[in-house]
Structure 1
Amino acid sequence: MSEDPRRAPGADLQAWTDRLAAALHVDASLVDVADVLDVAGEAAHQVARPAAPLSLFVAGIAVGLRGADEQTVADVLAQVRAAAAAWGADDTGVTAP
């Protein structure tokens, strides 16, 4: 049995994502579950565990403000990754868009 919580019994994250996206009128094809979880993991490990949901919430706002398309989602997630990697290397770890 896998120890990965994403693989826990009953944790069908793709089904959850599809259902949540439909309820929020979001194109579910814009959500790469594995990529989002990887970015969250990077924020959690590079910054602090609570940074994961906060980072992705801010990323979601950024995507919404910039226009939700595949390239925008990819760009925003890349910025979150870069900010998490740079955390502690400079004053903020965040670069301007």
Structure 2
Amino acid sequence: MTNPTDDTAAELAEWAALAGEELEISGFTPDVAAVLELAGVAAHAVRRPAAPVTTYLLGIAVGRAMAAGDDPVEAAARASAALSALAERYGGRQP
């Protein structure tokens, strides 16, 4: 019997690869778990709709870093950490 979590992770990895091919993005494999973790932080610390907005902004930051010749994995880690910290700070100011 397969673990549903394993099935989800495999499907998301496949989806990310296909989406990357469709958009002609090459050179790295996105860390799906890290993106989902960031989405979760944004959703809980800010509001649920902040999750896709935050991950979209992460993508822009990584794209800009790649255009500048930076390592996309390192750029994603830096941007994700910054956005996660911002969401936590923002969430702390909510009543």
TM-score range, shorter chain: 0.7 to 0.9
Runs of at least 4 residues of structure 1 off by over 6 A? none
Answer 1 or 2: higher relative contact order, Cα 8 Å, separation at least 6.
2
Q: Identity rate of aligned residues, in percent?
A: 36
Q: CA deviation at 1:82?
A: 0.7
Aligned pair count? 86
Gaps in structure 1 of 5+ consecutive residues: 91-97
Q: CA deviation at 1:29?
A: 3.1
Normalized per residue, the structure richer in helix is: 2
**Mapped pair 1:73 → 2:76:** yes
Preserved contact between residue 21 and residue 28 of structure 1 (Cα < 8 Å): no
TM-score normalised by structure 2 residue count = 0.76
- Let me know the Cα RMSD of the aligned residues: 2.4
Gaps in structure 2 of 5+ consecutive residues: none
Q: Deviations over 1:5-53 (max 9, x none)?
A: x839xx8111100000111122373410111001100000000000000
Letter in structure 1 aligned against 2:20 = A
TM-score normalised by structure 1 residue count = 0.74
Preserved contact between residue 42 and residue 51 of structure 2 (Cα < 8 Å): yes
Letter in structure 2 aligned against 1:85 = E
